Chain A
Amino acid sequence: MADGTAISCQEVVEVITDYLEGRLAPEDAAVFEAHLELCEGCRWYLDQMRITIDAVGRIEDAEVPDELRRTVLAAFRSRRV
Chain B
Amino acid sequence: MTLGTATAESDLLTRLRAGDEKAFEALVAGMYGTMLTVARTYVKDRAVAEEVVQETWLGVINGLDRFEGRSSLKTWILSILVNQAKTRGTREARTVPFASLAHEDDAPAVDPERFRGPNEPYTGGWRAFPANWKAADQLAQDRETIRVAMRAIAELPLTQQTVIRMRDVEGYSAEEVCATLDVSEANQRVLLHRARSRVRSALERHIDG
Q: Which residues of A are interface residues toward B (Cβ below 8 A)?
A: 8-11, 13-14, 16-18, 21, 23, 40-42, 44-45, 47-49, 51-59, 61-65, 68-69, 71-73, 75-77, 79, 81
Contacts and interface: CB of A to CB of B under 8 A. Distances in A.
Contacts of A71: 54
Instruction: Please report whether the interface of chain A is mostly helix, strand, loop or mixed according to DSSP.
Output: helix
Given A59-B146, A61-B29, A9 B196 contact: no
Contacts of B134: 44, 47, 51
A17 to B, nearest CB: 4
Contact of B109 (A16, A21, A47): A16
B113 to A, nearest CB: 11
Contacts of B58: 72, 75
Interface residues of B, number: 58
A69 B26 CA distance: 11
A54 B203 contact: no
A68 B50 contact: yes
B181 interface: no
Instruction: Please report whether the interface of chain B is mostly helix, strand, loop or mixed according to DSSP.
Output: helix
A72 B196 CA distance: 33
B50 A73 contact: no
A48 B19 CA distance: 44
A62 B170 CA distance: 11
Contact of A68 (B54, B115, B126, B129): B54
B124 A48 contact: no
Contact of B133 (A13, A17, A51, A68): A51
Interface centre among B24, B112, B153, B174 (most CB of A within 10 A): B24
B189 A23 contact: yes
Contacts of A23: 189
